[in-house]
Amino acid sequence: MRVEETKLAGCFIIYDTVFSDSRGYFFESFNQQKFTSLTGAKAVFVQDNQSRSTRGVLRGLHFQQGEHAQAKLVRVLEGTVLDVAVDLRKDSPTFGEYVAVELTEDNHTQLYIPRGFGHGFVVLSPTATFFYKCDNFYNKASEGGIIYNDPTIGIDWKIDASEVLLSDKDSVLPTFNEISATVYFD
């Protein structure tokens, strides 16, 4: 396992060591001791989530705030997604900035997103199965979001806007400027 910190402090790209032979491959997708040692993150994961989506489906940008804030460890089991983390920590020098990482079934790359970040992804392949661990339980009253095409953040989703498929909820999310003064994380 190799870990690389992104330009957003506390947000890490994780490259797993994959052992391949004629039978297929094997890799250790998570090891709490190695994860903590290499990242310094104190996350203890309590919930796993999985979704399957078709090309163009964009889920996000989502976050949990207050005492229900969540750190996530995300990866792709099948297909290709562009995964995005946005720094929403008001005291951070990278507040409002983002990182984008292509996660695929072949590169076995993971992204660790600490508490205090917005998160979203778009499917770039015909289908994708997305898997993630959370260090806190979901709480509907604490959820929030930012519209995916927010002009202040300016994310390049690597897909034409005409292909983007949003849920009804995600299509009416507020802008970064509308929520930036009210978002809080414990």
Residues serving a catalytic function are 62, 132
CA angle in degrees (0–180, nearest 5) for 84-103-15: 105
Closest residue by Cα to residue 120 from 47, 50, 62, 183: 62
Amino acid symbol at 52: R
From 105, 112, 113, 111, select the one nearest 89 (Cα to Cα): 113
Alpha-carbon span 9 to 12, nearest angstrom: 8
In this structure, what token pair is assigned to residue 68?
């229900």
| Interatomic CA distance for residues 182 and 178, integer angstroms | 8
Nearest C-alpha neighbor of 88 from the set 184, 169, 6, 186: 184
Residue pair 57/130 in contact (Cβ under 8 Å)? The answer is no
